[in-house]
Amino acid sequence: MSSYQVIARRWRPKQFDDVVGQEHIVQTLKNAILRNRIAHAYLFVGPRGTGKTSTARLFAKALNAEGGPNVAPDNESSIAKSIMGGNCMDVIEIDGASNNSVDQVRDLRDDCQYAPAQCTFKIYIIDEVHMLSTAAFNALLKTLEEPPAHVKFIFATTEAHKLLPTIVSRCQRFEFRPIPDNLIIDRLSTIAQAEGIQVDQEALVAIAHLANGGMRDAQSILDQMISFCGESIAENDVLDVYGLVSQECVKNLAKTMASADYKALIEQIDAIVAEGRDLYRVLMDLQHFIREALLDAIRKNGQTALLGHSLTTESLMRMQEVLHEGEASVQKGLSEKVNFEVTLLKALEASRVRAIDTVIQKLTAVARQLGEPSLKNA
């Protein structure tokens, strides 16, 4: 009986054109191959699950294509299969977290001197490269600056700020962006159709929102939902499994805060808690919606009715600030529910407070209309 392979692995990109949401990087790498301007070291930076390691493999596959570098190598060639399978002896994938000592890097440096056994280039893909020790980085510096002609380095990291500037300066840096929800939804829809799974559009939206810009996370969530639901997945299934609330619930919560209805707000919080929802995630979703209202107010000269009541940019900014300040207490506090309640009630109160400068400006404007001296000059 063959072992099951998860969706994230089965649907890993096999060609550059399969990479989703990173067109700026794909185009640059293609041009480098077509114009024979291939650097000796690359640094791939970005959030998890956005395609860094997959793109590194694709680039290694393209560089080592039979007959020379090719932007669209044959997927069925033995070299291509071994590279994509992670068992090519000339494309060495190293986990920086567990191979971070200076001795291991010295071994790598010595191994660089040997010519590739079957490929055009010997390529080292070092994932989570920021985990290397300072001594290990220093041992790599000289080789990284002047490597043998047959050697290429591809580094991948989620935390580029931890890298030594001397390492970064020797690499071409590529920034992987979080993948937009609409592209994740399109990809998941294609996967579901190919897998014979019926997934509601609202469920796809919920999965994409939960993945937070990571394609691999989205595919893993879809995989889990298929295990839970079988061949039909609805929005409520996703919400129940991951402790989320619907966007409609988030909107109602925001509108209740905007209307300053304390009793209704407490009742809504009690209902959310009774359903076993993730209050920290609710807080994140609420901030996202308040931000949309704030942007709407900015576009409409300082006021919005998106929350059912007219609110100014000042009120929304105060509300957002309190919600942000409450993140730590909700996530790590002793009583999640109490901290969640307090955070939302404080945000409600903050939205009703007006800055003294704003009050003075309004009173000054009224005084001028009445022909009275300005408050500032009183």
Q: Between the ranges 100-104, 106-110, 195-199, 374-378, where is the mean pLDDT highest?
A: 195-199
Choice among 170-184, 251-265, 345-359 with the minimum mean pLDDT: 345-359
Pick 134 or 322 by higher pLDDT. 322
Q: What is the pLDDT of residue 363?
A: 66
Name the pairing type of β-strands 198-199 and 172-175: unpaired
Domain 7-175 annotated CATH 3.40.50.300: yes
Q: What is the pLDDT of residue 1?
A: 47
Sorting pLDDT into bands at 50, 70 and 90, what band is 354? low
One-letter-per-residue 3-state SS of 270-298: HHHHHCCCCHHHHHHHHHHHHHHHHHHHH
DSSP 99: S
Q: What is the pLDDT of residue 352?
A: 80
Domain 247-357 annotated CATH 3.30.43.10: no
Q: Percent of the chain beyond pLDDT 70? A: 93
Domain edges within the chain: 7-175, 181-242, 247-357
Sorting pLDDT into bands at 50, 70 and 90, what band is 287? very high
- Please check the confidence at residue 372 and state whether its pLDDT lies above 80: no
Sorting pLDDT into bands at 50, 70 and 90, what band is 267? very high
Instruction: Mention every residue, 6+ apart, whose C-beta is less than 8 A from residue 41.
Output: 144, 147, 152, 153, 154, 155, 170, 171, 172
- Please check the confidence at residue 229 and state whether its pLDDT lies above 90: no
Sign of CA dihedral 272, 261, 251, 353: negative
Q: What is the pLDDT of residue 135?
A: 79
For the chain, the average pLDDT equals 85
Within this chain, domains 7-175 and 247-357 share the same CATH topology: no
Residues 84-88: what's their mean pLDDT? 83
Decide which of 2.40.30.10, 3.40.50.11400, 1.10.8.60, 1.20.1250.20 is the CATH code for 181-242. Answer: 1.10.8.60
